[in-house]
């Protein structure tokens, strides 16, 4: 937060959009940034996040996470596959998170969850990055200085 972003801002021509991309526990970590540093990223792409981690503890923070998404107008795109041990373990909890966010009435430009066929925890990574970035660019004009 203090070193990497300032280095990038100083040495590269960048727009103010910050998109975090995380796979598995990286997706879990990025979700937790919505609790501790909700303004750190404008958008998150969560690929097969491990919400089963630590006895599904992420569910205890849903109210705070959804409030922070709403107040900061953060874009969160989550995607997972449907085959394999890890997807079978992680997807039920991700579905709970999706249901809770829908109950909190997050807009589709704030939260979107997609599960796609014939991908497992390892093969979903590149597809998730591509689909997440395309979905982001379809919802936000990246050519404007925001």
59-83 tens-digit pLDDT = 999 999 999 999 999 999 999 999 9
Where would I find the beta strands (DSSP E) of the chain?
19-23, 43-47, 75-80, 111-115
For CA atoms 70, 50, 84, 46, the dihedral sign is positive
Q: Given this model, what pLDDT does residue 16 score?
A: 79
SS3 at position 25: helix
CA distance 109 to 138: 10
pTM above 0.75, yes or no: yes
pLDDT(126) > 70 = yes
Looking at every residue in the chain, the average pLDDT score rounds to 93
pLDDT(146) > 70 = no
Beta bridge partners of 23: 47
């Amino acid at each position: 937060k203090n070193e990497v972003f300032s280095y990038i801002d100083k040495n590269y021509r960048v727009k103010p959009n910050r998109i975090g991309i995380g796979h598995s526990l990286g997706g879990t970590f990025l979700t937790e940034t919505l609790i501790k540093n909700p303004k750190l990223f404008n958008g998150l792409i969560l690929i097969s996040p491990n919400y089963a981690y630590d006895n599904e503890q992420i569910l205890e923070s849903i109210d705070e996470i959804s409030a922070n998404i709403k107040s900061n107008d953060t874009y969160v795109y989550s995607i997972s596959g449907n085959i394999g041990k890890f997807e079978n373990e992680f997807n039920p909890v991700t579905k709970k998170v999706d249901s809770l966010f829908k109950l909190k009435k997050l807009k589709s430009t704030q939260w979107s969850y997609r599960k796609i066929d014939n991908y497992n925890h390892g093969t979903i990574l590149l597809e998730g990055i591509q689909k997440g970035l395309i979905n982001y660019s379809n919802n936000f004009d990246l050519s404007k200085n925001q």
